Amino acid sequence: MTFVEARFVQWWVRLLGAIVLLLVVFLVYARVGAAGFIWDDESHLTQNPCIIGPLGLADIWTSASAVYYPLVLTTFWILHHFVGLNPLPYHILNVAFHAASALLLWRVLVQLRMRGAWLGAAIWALHPVLVQSVAWITEMKNTQSALFYLLAISCFLESRDRKRNGIFYWLTIFFFVAAITSKPSTVMLPVVLALCLWWREGGIKQRDLRLLLPFVLVSLLGSGWTIWEQKFHSHAAGAEWVQTPLQRILVSADAIWFYLLKLIWPHPLIFIYPRWEVEPSRWFAWIPLAALLVVAAVLFIKRNTALRPVAFAFAYFVITLFPVLDFSLQLRQRSFPVSRQHGAAGPDGRRRCHGGGENWDPPVSDPSSFDPGYLIGAWRTDLSSKRKVSRSHLPLSGHPGTKSKMLDGRI
């Protein structure tokens, strides 16, 4: 077979792989076409004054009404301008974002020279932990940010493969800004890019660090903006937020294992997880942290051996989880250390939960804490029938020593 023939066959194989991946994603999520609006689709879309009036597009970017997802609300505003509040186009776009992200993940894995790239992208696209992000309109902040996040990584890697790399470098910055204004939990991209350089090129040079400086600046601005919004606009302050540094460390270590186990074995997936009461005085509270440190130490020592792929995957997983761990200020973690932020902001398949006061509308957890069966009931639930629940009636998943009571009609 000649070189031209080989390239032709390779092109057709890739085209077939892309078509199959797209078809599978759209077939799996075909049922969302019958879905409507649920829960905080109200505040983000159906009753958001920036979307339906009297405010408008300019207010999305200049007022607190956009919370901290201005680019997602801009997408909502554009769709509403053409289709109103018909939920079908919103669902179609959400599935399309997810399908496109699956293709991009395949591309990124190929650029990282990883074996089984197509299979990895397919597993990610069809994993149960992502159902909520794709089937829930408000969670377009996950699917849209994932698209730009992966575009940024792909363009950055492309810039390393070309002599004239300026256009791809600036496209990386552009897509990073788009990702962070879609969802701020993508702020760890600069660290992820450095990790990709280590994986592909064996190390990071001083010139590489200079190239990453603009991304660090964007990340710091995005982080500061989000923390300010949560603290002063969303009132993320007070006694409920007080935790000792030791408690934050222990809870964060616990959360990392929680997310990892949900990826390996998603069942049971539920919408709302309660606050974990971690007592440093109890010896078993230290087990997750000790296990994490041991695994991290072993993988670091063996990073240039056969365990290098595992070290890369583990580092990526923890790095991209960092914004939703208890180290950072997260409004949705007032009741739970498990946050919804991590869900589809990147190809790691990460996820979350909401928090609130003594009486609050129960939000939905991240894709890693989601039972697809609950979603069916949610599609048929009248928003006007939403119940108020207290923290003593939150569902629990597998935490010993804590009583649980499932929500009636758990959406």
Across the chain, how many H-helices and E-strands are there?
16, 0
In a domain, residue 213? The reply is yes
Note down the domain range covering 276.
3-393
In a domain, residue 404? The reply is no
Grouping H, G, I as helix, E, B as strand and the rest as coil, residue 389 is: strand
Helix (H) or strand (E) holding 216: helix 206-228
Whole-number Å distance between alpha carbons of 274 and 216: 34
pLDDT of residue 252: 87
Low-confidence ranges of the chain (pLDDT < 70): 1, 3-5, 65-67, 231-242, 275, 326-411
Cα torsion 105, 106, 109, 110: sign:
negative
Q: Residue 389: what are its φ and ψ, rounded to 5°? A: -135, 155
Q: Are 333 and 339 in contact (CB under 8 A)?
A: yes
In a domain, residue 124? The reply is yes
pLDDT of residue 251: 86
Bridge partner list, 360: 389
In a domain, residue 407? The reply is no
pLDDT of residue 404: 28
What contacts 307, CB < 8 A, 6 or more positions away?
298, 299
pLDDT of residue 44: 86
In a domain, residue 302? The reply is yes
Q: 398: left (phi > 0), else alpha (psi -120 to 50), else beta?
A: left
Find, among 156, 129, 145, the residue nearest to 187 by Cα: 145
pLDDT of residue 240: 60
Find, among 124, 145, 143, the residue nearest to 132 by Cα: 143
In a domain, residue 330? The reply is yes
In a domain, residue 402? The reply is no
pTM of the model: 0.78
pLDDT tens-digit series, residues 273-331: 776 777 787 888 899 899 999 999 999 999 999 999 999 999 999 999 888 886 554 43
In a domain, residue 406? The reply is no
pLDDT tens-digit series, residues 208-244: 899 999 999 999 998 888 877 776 666 555 566 667 7
Q: Are 386 and 45 in contact (CB under 8 A)?
A: no
Look at the chain and report how many structural domains it folds into: 1
Whole-number Å distance between alpha carbons of 58 and 52: 13
Q: In Å, how far are 55, 231, 382, 398, 402 from 52, measured between CA atoms?
A: 8, 27, 20, 41, 43
